[in-house]
C-alpha cells in the first residue's frame, strides 16, 4: 500500500474515533479489513488493465451454436505468452481446440495441479437483457453485464491473473500447474474435457487434483461442491393407432404418453416434497423436469386438428445424486414411465454414470482423509474467505469426467454476495468481486503448488 494511503486512512479514522469515542482496537480491526479489500493489493493502473482483459474475453462470442473458438484461443494464448507460460493447443475434434497451459514445477515427479475452465457460453435472448450480453458493460455499481461473467469466463481469467501476480512476486511452484481452456462444456463436453481425459496427453500430465467451476453465492460464504448430480437426458416415445379427431378409443399414442407423464409427475412431486418439507436439500434428491413435448401432424397454420397422431414424445432432464439408487430409477423408467406393455419405448440422449471407474460413488472427500481438501480450506481462509457447507452441484459440469477417473475435484468459483445467474438473463459479476477472486485463487494456487508431500501411493 502506498504510504500516503496509509496516512490518509489512519488520519481519517483516528479523527472519526475521537468524535465517536471509538476504542483504538476497533480502528486496528477496520484497518485490517481495509487491507483485505480487493483494491488494497492492486494499483489503479493494474485494476484497470485486469478489468479490461476480463471485458475483452467476455466480448468474444463463444455462444452456441456457433462459438468463435479461434478468437478465444488466440486471446488465451496471447495472455499465456505475456505471462510466460508454456502452451499447447490440441484438437481431438476438428474446430474444437483444447488449450493447455503449463507452469512447470521444481519437482516433476509429484502429481500436478489442473485448473480447468471452459471457453464456451450458452446463447442469450438479447432483447431481454438490460445491456447487450456480449458488451461487458460496467454500470454505475461496478456490475459487469455479460454472458459468461459468472459461467465461467471469470474463473479462467482469474486463474491467469493469479498466476501472473505469483510470478511477479517471485513465487516458484514445487508442483507443475496446468490450465485447461476447453470447448463444448455447455453441450456435454465430450469433444472437450471428455476427449482430453481419455488422451495420452492427459496421462502424461499426471494430474493429482482438479479445480473446476462452482456457482455464485448470494451471501458472504463461498459455495463449494464435492460432487454433482449425474445428467440423464431421457426421451420416451408412445405409439398408437391414428384416428379421426372425433373418435373415442383406448390406447392412443397421446393417452399412452399422458399416463407416463402422470407417473413421472407423481415421482417428481414426491422428490420435491422432500425439499419443501426441509427433509432434504435440493441437491440430495433426484430432479425430473419435462423439457419438450412432441406430437401432432403439422400444417401450414399449425397442426391438423381432426387427426389423432400415431406417435407422441416427451423429453426430460433428470439429475441423479451420486448416492441415489440409479438401478431403481432405471427400473422405474422401464416399468412405469415407458412400459412396453403400453407401446412405449425410451432412449437416453445423454447419460452419465453416478459412480467412478471403480464402482464407487463419484464424489470427492471433504475431510482430513483428503489432503487437497484440507489445503483448500486453509488457502481460502488465508485469503480471508469463508466457505459454506460443501454440497453436491445441482447441474452438470466437466468435473464429472475427472471424477469418473477417481480424481479429486473441487468445484469452486470465488463469487460471494452475488445472485446466481448462470444461464439467466442479465448475468453479471461485480468488478470488485472479480478482483477479490483473483486474490483467493492466488492463495489456493500458491498453497497447492507449494505442497511437496506425495498424495498417492507411487508418487
Residues tagged active-site: 120, 185
109 is in an annotated binding site: no
Report CA-CA distances (Å) from 366 to 223, 227, 411: 13, 10, 12
262 is in an annotated binding site: no
244 is in an annotated binding site: no
Closest CA to 192 of 316, 315, 100: 100
Calculate ∠ Cα 189-191-194, nearest 5°. 60
Closest CA to 136 of 439, 434, 450: 434
Strand order in the sheet with 230-239: 287-295, 311-320, 230-239, 344-351
Assign residue 251 a region (left: φ > 0; alpha: ψ between -120 and 50; beta: otherwise): left
- CB contact at 8 A, 150 and 216: yes
422 is in an annotated binding site: no
Grid cell for residue 66: 456457433
186 is in an annotated binding site: yes
Compute how many other C-beta atoms are within 10 angstroms of the C-beta atom of residue 440.
23
Spell out the residues 6+ positions from residue 219 whose beta carbon is closer than 8 angstroms to its own.
Answer: 388, 416, 417
Binding-site residues sit at: 118, 151, 186, 213, 423
Binding-site residues for Zn(2+) sit at: 118, 151, 186, 213, 423
Amino acid at each position: 500500500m502506498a504510504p500516503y494511503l496509509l496516512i490518509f486512512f489512519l488520519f481519517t479514522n483516528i479523527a472519526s474515533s475521537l468524535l465517536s469515542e471509538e476504542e483504538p482496537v476497533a480502528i486496528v480491526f477496520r484497518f485490517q479489513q481495509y487491507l483485505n479489500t480487493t483494491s488494497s493489493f492492486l494499483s489503479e493502473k493494474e485494476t484497470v488493465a485486469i478489468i479490461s482483459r476480463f471485458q475483452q474475453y467476455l466480448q468474444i462470442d463463444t455462444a452456441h451454436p456457433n462459438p468463435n473458438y479461434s478468437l478465444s484461443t488466440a486471446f488465451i494464448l496471447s495472455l499465456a505468452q505475456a505471462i510466460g507460460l508454456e502452451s499447447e493447443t490440441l484438437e481431438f475434434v476438428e474446430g474444437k481446440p483444447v488449450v493447455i497451459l503449463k507452469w512447470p514445477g521444481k519437482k516433476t515427479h509429484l502429481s500436478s495441479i489442473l485448473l480447468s475452465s471452459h471457453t464456451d457460453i450458452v446463447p442469450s435472448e438479447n432483447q431481454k437483457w438490460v445491456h447487450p450480453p456480449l458488451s461487458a458493460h460496467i454500470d454505475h455499481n461496478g456490475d459487469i453485464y455479460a454472458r459468461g461473467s459468472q459461467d465461467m469466463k471469470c474463473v479462467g481469467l482469474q486463474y491467469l491473473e493469479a498466476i501472473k501476480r505469483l510470478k511477479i512476486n517471485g513465487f516458484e511452484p514445487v508442483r507443475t500447474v496446468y490450465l485447461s481452456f476447453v470447448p463444448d462444456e455447455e453441450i456435454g463436453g465430450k469433444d472437450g474435457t471428455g476427449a482430453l481425459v481419455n488422451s495420452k496427453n492427459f496421462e502424461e500430465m499426471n494430474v493429482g487434483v482438479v479445480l473446476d467451476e462452482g456457482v455464485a453465492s448470494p451471501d458472504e460464504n463461498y459455495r463449494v461442491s464435492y460432487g454433482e448430480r449425474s445428467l440423464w437426458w431421457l426421451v420416451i416415445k408412445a405409439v398408437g393407432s391414428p384416428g379421426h379427431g372425433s373418435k373415442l378409443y383406448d390406447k392412443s399414442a397421446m393417452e399412452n404418453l399422458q399416463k407416463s407423464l402422470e407417473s413421472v409427475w407423481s415421482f417428481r412431486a414426491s422428490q420435491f416434497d422432500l425439499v419443501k418439507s426441509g427433509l432434504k436439500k435440493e441437491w440430495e434428491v433426484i430432479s425430473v423436469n419435462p423439457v419438450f413435448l412432441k406430437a401432432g401432424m403439422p400444417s401450414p397454420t399449425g397442426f391438423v386438428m381432426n387427426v389423432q397422431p400415431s406417435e407422441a414424445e416427451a423429453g426430460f432432464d433428470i439429475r441423479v445424486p451420486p448416492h441415489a439408487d440409479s438401478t431403481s430409477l432405471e427400473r422405474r423408467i422401464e416399468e412405469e414411465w415407458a412400459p412396453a406393455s403400453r407401446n412405449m419405448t425410451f432412449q437416453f440422449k445423454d447419460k452419465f454414470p453416478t459412480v467412478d471407474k471403480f464402482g464407487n460413488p463419484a464424489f470427492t472427500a471433504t475431510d482430513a482423509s483428503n489432503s487437497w481438501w484440507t489445503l483448500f480450506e486453509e488457502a481460502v481462509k488465508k485469503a480471508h474467505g469463508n466457505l459454506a457447507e460443501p454440497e453436491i452441484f445441482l447441474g452438470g459440469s466437466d468435473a464429472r469426467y475427472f471424477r469418473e477417473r477417481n480424481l479429486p475435484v473441487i468445484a469452486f468459483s470465488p463469487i460471494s454476495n452475488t445472485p446466481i445467474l448462470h444461464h439467466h438473463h442479465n448475468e453479471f459479476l461485480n468488478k470488485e468481486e472479480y478482483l477479490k477472486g483473483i486474490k483467493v485463487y492466488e492463495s489456493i494456487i500458491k498453497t497447492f503448488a507449494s505442497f511437496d508431500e506425495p498424495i498417492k501411493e507411487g508418487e
